[in-house]
Amino acid sequence: MDFNDTPEEAAFRAEVRAWIDANAPKHLEPELRRASFASSGLVSEDPVTAGKAWQKKKAAAGWACLHWPKEYGGAARSPIERVIWSQEEGPYASLSGIFIIGHGMCGPTVMAWASEDQKQARLPPLASGEEIWCQLFSEPASGSDLAGLRTRAVKADDGSGDWIVNGQKIWTSGAQHSDWGLLIARTDPDVPKHRGLTMFFLSMHSPGVKVVPIKQANGASGFNEVYFTDVRIPDAQRLGEVGQGWQVSLTTLMNERLSIGAGMSTGFPDVFRYCMEAEIDGRPAVEDANVRSKLAQFAVRESGLRYTGMRAISALSKGETPGPENSIGKLVAGATMQELAMFALDLQGEAGVVWDEDSPQNGRFQSVLMRSPATRIEGGSDEILRNIIGERVLGLPGDIRVDKDLPFREIPTSGRRKG
């Protein structure tokens, strides 16, 4: 057991460090260090412009999409090299936040299911940051139950082979900046729900696509609704067979949960720092027995997640596949963030209600309080994650499914009130 690099890893790290040192936009570092979940932290420049510039620079030097094959614009680096890169990239990584979905989910899906021509056309500009992708999966009536989606794709009756799409997607991050979208739609409502789906990709600039930002409970708008009105998609932009959309989507989702959960922080270090400064009855808060007991339990969750991440990296470093431990990341971090925010506000007393730049750490705890409920839902709710751990990690049976063999159109769609 040690925390040191192997000689090869150390050499790679030195190379990365030197390149970043010479090329990173250092003037942005202080802002980027204030990045929080779902925000790059950037205010002095447009995040999309700055993000595209950084990605382009990386791509030119061979540092884009380390895990992708070289023929599609990647660098074909090993998983552990990818980890070292991200450790060294540090705060600048948040500049590339707009590409996470494209590089982590859409790209791998296209790579697995598209024709060679399509891959050659679409992947390099995605890798180099010229094009941004978004993922069009969730719908208002199908969140956790993704396969219950209702957006319809029907063959055009003009013999073109094109598909005509109508419906609505929701929770689409980055849709407003995106050039392309990965879309799952229902092509057959007369078969059981998992069997009537088909995957496509489409230009977000297509006629009939309308992006509407969702105002969130915290006042921000990180997500969008996307409306489709007679949007035309060429059949060549179908991924997988008609009716095979569910299997295709599993490629995407497998990557989504990994990338959301891995290495999440609970925000403990900020709260701990605040407890070192704040006072209770004239003494440092950190000396209060109640604060200590609560902080200690938060601390071991934070360090538990940190070392769980390092265990996964250790496995990667040895060429092994990490175990299922990482699936706990978002489950633990989401709930803990929210508890920590309430705890930090409690320490502030009546003044905890105030949310402005004079609040401790620029109002960070108030922001986390208002943002954290979403963390416990997006990308797999706490309940879905517990199901995944129970079923895929512990091998417990699935929930009883009443909709499994029903044709989609016969599945009940609204709860009837008793009495």
Partner 1 sequence: MNLDFSDEQKLLRDQVRRFLEQRCPPAAVRAVLEGEAEYHAALYAGLAELGVLGSAIPEEYGGVGLGHLELCVLAEELGRALAPVPVASSIYLAAECLMQAGSEAQKAAWLPKLAAGEAIGCFAIAEGRGRMSAEKVQARVEGDRLSGAKAPVADGGIADFCIVAARDGDGVSLFLVDLSAAGVRRTALKTIDPTRGQARLDFDGAAADRIGGAGDGWHIASQVMDRAAILLAFEQLGGADRALEMGRDYALERMAFGRQIGSFQAIKHMLADMYVAATLARSNCYYGAWALSSAAAELPVAAATARVSATTAFQHCAKNNIQVHGGMGFTWDFDCHLYYRRANALALALGSLSTWESLLIERMSAGNREAAA
| Region 375-404 residues binding partner 1, contact defined as CB under 8 A | 376-378, 381-383, 385-387, 389-391, 393-403
Q: What is the distance between the alpha carbons of residues 334 and 167, in angstroms, rounded to a whole number?
A: 31
Q: Nearest approach, Cβ of 164 to partner 1 (angstroms)?
A: 27
Q: Kindly indicate which of the ranges 35-43, 255-263, 284-292, 365-373 contains the residues binding its own copies, using the contact rule CB under 8 A.
A: 284-292
The verdict on 344 binding its own copies (CB under 8 A) reads: no
Q: Choose which of 123, 239, 291, 368 interacts with its own copies (CB under 8 A).
A: 291
The token duo for 239 is: 């991924």
Is 282 a binding residue for partner 1 by CB under 8 A? The answer is yes
Per-residue x/- track, 299-338, partner 1 (CB under 8 A): xxx-xxxxxx-xx-xxx-xx------x--x--xx-----x
Helix (H) or strand (E) holding 247, with range, is helix 245-261
| Entry field: residues in the chain | 419
User: Measured between alpha carbons, how far is 250 from 238 in angstroms, rounded to an integer?
Assistant: 16
Provide the sign of the torsion angle of the four alpha carbons 230, 232, 237, 241, taken in this order.
positive
Centre a 10 Å sphere on the Cβ of residue 297 and count the other Cβ atoms it contains: 11
Q: How far apart are CA 295 and CA 344, in angstroms?
A: 10
Indicate whether 288 belongs to the interface with its own copies (CB under 8 A): yes
395-414 residues in contact with its own copies (CB under 8 A) are 395, 397, 400, 402
Determine, following the binding rule CB under 8 A, whether residue 207 of this chain makes contact with its own copies.
no
d(CA 113, CA 167): 24
Query: Residue 207 or residue 397: which is nearer to partner 1 going by CB?
Result: 397
Contacts of 409 (CB under 8 A, 6+ apart): 189, 190
Q: Is 370 in the site for partner 1 (CB under 8 A)?
A: yes
The β-bridge relationship of strands 279-280 and 180-186 is: unpaired
Contact string 118-157 vs its own copies (x = CB under 8 A): ----------------------------------------
- The yes or no reply on residue 295 touching partner 1 (CB under 8 A) is yes
Residue 158: burial class (beta carbons within 10 Å; 0-12, 13-18, 19+): exposed
CB of 253 to partner 1, least distance (A): 16
* Shortest Å distance, C-beta 400 to its own copies: 4
Query: Is residue 191 close enough to count as binding partner 1 by CB under 8 A?
Result: no
CA–chain centroid gap for 218, Å, is: 19
What phi, psi does 297 have (nearest 5°)?
-70, -35
In the complex, which residues of this chain contact its own copies (CB under 8 A)?
A: 280, 288-294, 395, 397, 400, 402, 418-419
